[in-house]
Amino acid sequence: MNILKQTVGIDISYKKFDARFGTIDTQQQNTLSTSKSFKNSPAGFKLFLLWVKKLIVSHDVPLIFVMEATGVYYEHLAHFLLHHGYQVAVVLPNKIKNYAKSLESKSKTDPLDAAVITRFGLERQLKLWTPPSDALKALRDVCREYHSTKTNITQIKNQLHALKSSFKPHRESFKRKTQLLKFLERQVALMKKELRALVKSDPKDWVILPSSPSWRKLDALILSPIRNNSPAMLVSTSSSMTPA
């Protein structure tokens, strides 16, 4: 039977990842290997690649490595594979989850998840991942920092309000929280300045959606955090920021 596609499905976490190799033939029949675990480290990546090379059916058949956009844990492996000349697809977790619901097995284990990801890669058209530019990655990181800091500011303001409303508030506690609030507000101002500079430094990778006619005060950028699974109003045109 002629093989149409080869896929390696990867279920990755902080310390390790599980992988399965799979193929699909002209009769739409899937064949999957047993699951294999590797450390999420450079040494683990090398062992993983040696394992995959032993399973490749043909170098003339497309081979794609498929993984979920799980936080940032996939990034080192994705860059490693791309550096070695392989095609990589990074898929939104909700797509894998919805696909898994259509399958008969309802168990939730990492080896099974790797199988689901492998089958998804074999049966779906995949958008290939490319790494973000330095400006795009910095923009993502600063946006996340901005929203985290804004959350901290809200918490501290609530704490100050509670202290003010309490009976005989501790003076030093109030002083420290006030100083911390001022510091964080200064940091937010610096982040806004940095975000403006980053957007201007790489404008070709960004478009402003019709729903956001203006980004005065960076509203179009920072009102929605940039996450792999949460679109911002200022949207990257790069596939590295918009997983399949």
CATH of the domain at 58: 3.30.420.40
Closest Cα partner for 18 from 94, 70, 62?
A: 70
* Structure-block tokens of residue 49: 């690649």
Same domain, 60 and 107: yes
In a domain, 244, yes or no: no
Domain count, the chain: 2
**Which pLDDT tens digits describe the chain residue by residue (244 residues)?**
699 999 999 999 999 999 999 999 998 899 999 999 999 999 999 999 999 999 999 999 999 999 998 888 999 999 999 999 999 999 988 899 888 888 865 555 555 689 999 999 999 999 999 988 888 888 888 888 998 999 999 999 999 999 999 999 999 999 999 999 999 999 999 998 888 888 777 665 554 444 444 444 454 454 444 444 333 334 444 445 545 5
Same domain, 42 and 76: yes
pLDDT tens track for 126-137: 999 998 888 888
In a domain, 193, yes or no: yes
Same domain, 103 and 142: no
- Look at residues 93, 123, 153 and tell me which one is the last residue of a structural domain: 123
pLDDT tens track for 54-102: 999 999 999 999 999 888 899 999 999 999 999 999 998 889 988 888 8
In a domain, 181, yes or no: yes
Same domain, 26 and 109: yes
Same domain, 176 and 73: no
- DSSP structure string for the chain: --EEEEEEEEEE-SSEEEEEEEEEETT--EEEPPPEEEESSHHHHHHHHHHHHHH---TTS-EEEEEE--TTTTHHHHHHHHHTT-EEEEE-HHHHHHHHHTSS-----HHHHHHHHHHHHHHS--PPP-PPPHHHHHHHHHHHHHHHHHHHHHHHHHHHHHHHHSSS--HHHHHHHHHHHHHHHHHHHHHHHHHHHHHHHSGGGEEE-TT-S--GGGHHHHSS--BTTB--SEEE-STTTS--
- Look at residues 82, 104, 123 and tell me which one is the last residue of a structural domain: 123
Domain span holding position 223: 134-236
Same domain, 93 and 141: no
For tokens 């506690």, the residue is 173
Same domain, 98 and 183: no
In a domain, 241, yes or no: no
In a domain, 243, yes or no: no
